[in-house]
Structure 1
């Protein structure tokens, strides 16, 4: 049963669902990539990735990435791959729920997206970049949109309940 009455909710929820699916499948691919490094030289693989992407290995993030790969044990790779699988399953389930307009998914999406806002503010506070600002603003807009949907759904349910109680709509 569809909860929404307007196309604006339909297309908006579908857009957020596609975004959640994309995050889930991207993290799933990363987790599978980690699994492929078990029993192999992870630092060598990290150095190759940095070269292929034309990053400077002396810069901070590529250097940290290579160093972390050098310290990765098979047990740690299994742990990170398992965590990536769990995260991917949550994001894919959320995408599914939003695609089919499930109320639980709307609540979950609003809460989970809202949880990132303090972290994004913290990162932006320490070093302002355009990318961090865009991510924060996008996330805030998504949370506001999802909260508006939840409020609209609540108003629709209250109105329907009032109609049933006043006898405006016959109960089947």
Structure 2
């Protein structure tokens, strides 16, 4: 297998992982509809021995507090649409469809300014890692789409 195909399959796997996680989140939120999501998450964090005062668990609880029954369906629909896009992109990259190479380049590049902002705003290792991975994907896809295709 060529290095190019290996790179595409790696990126396809990353996109598929994002799609599956989004599906799990969407279905999980849908399953929790009608329950006290805040209390559920607090119990889950306690069960996992995570301190709700720490940055990431605290952020999760903060975001859960804004979920109301009226906007819950929108969040679920958004998660499912995002999952569908990521899974279609993963399929296309895995099988070397040209349009998905361009799509991966553009969709990855769109996030860069937000991720740069996040690095300066949050100043944590996770933000830097996410930005680094996305920059590597965008750069790889850029090199790939500008290279003449040899068939």
Task: Give the secondary structure class of the aligned counterpart of 2:149.
Answer: helix
Shift of 1:53: 2.6
Match of 2:44 in 1: 49
Q: Which has the higher contact order (CA 8 A, sep 6+)?
A: 2
Cα distance, 1:131–1:60 mapped onto 2, change above 3 Å: closer
Moved more, 80-89 or 138-147: 138-147
Cα distance, 1:61–1:103 mapped onto 2, change above 3 Å: same
Match of 1:156 in 2: 149
Distance (whole Å) between structure 2 residues aligned to residue 103 and residue 78 of structure 1:
34
Distance (whole Å) between structure 1 residues aligned to residue 105 and residue 6 of structure 2:
17
Cα distance, 1:119–1:129 mapped onto 2, change above 3 Å: same
Distance (whole Å) between structure 2 residues aligned to residue 112 and residue 22 of structure 1:
16
Moved more, 29-38 or 127-136: 127-136
Shift of 1:140: 1.0
Equivalent pairs counted in the alignment come to 151
Shift of 1:132: 2.0
* TM-score, scaled to structure 1: 0.79
Match of 1:10 in 2: 5
Task: Give the secondary structure class of the aligned counterpart of 1:131.
Answer: helix
Cα distance, 1:67–1:136 mapped onto 2, change above 3 Å: closer
Distance (whole Å) between structure 1 residues aligned to residue 64 and residue 121 of structure 2:
26
Match of 1:85 in 2: 80
Which consecutive residues of structure 2, in runs of 5 or more, have no partner in the other structure?
none
**Residues 67-78 of structure 1 aligned to structure 2 (within 5 Å):** 67-78=62-73
From 109, 118, 123, the equivalent of 1:114 is: 109
Distance (whole Å) between structure 2 residues aligned to residue 32 and residue 146 of structure 1:
31
Larger Rg: 1
* TM-score, scaled to structure 2: 0.89
Shift of 1:28: 0.4
- 1:100 maps onto 2:99 in alignment: no
Match of 1:20 in 2: 15
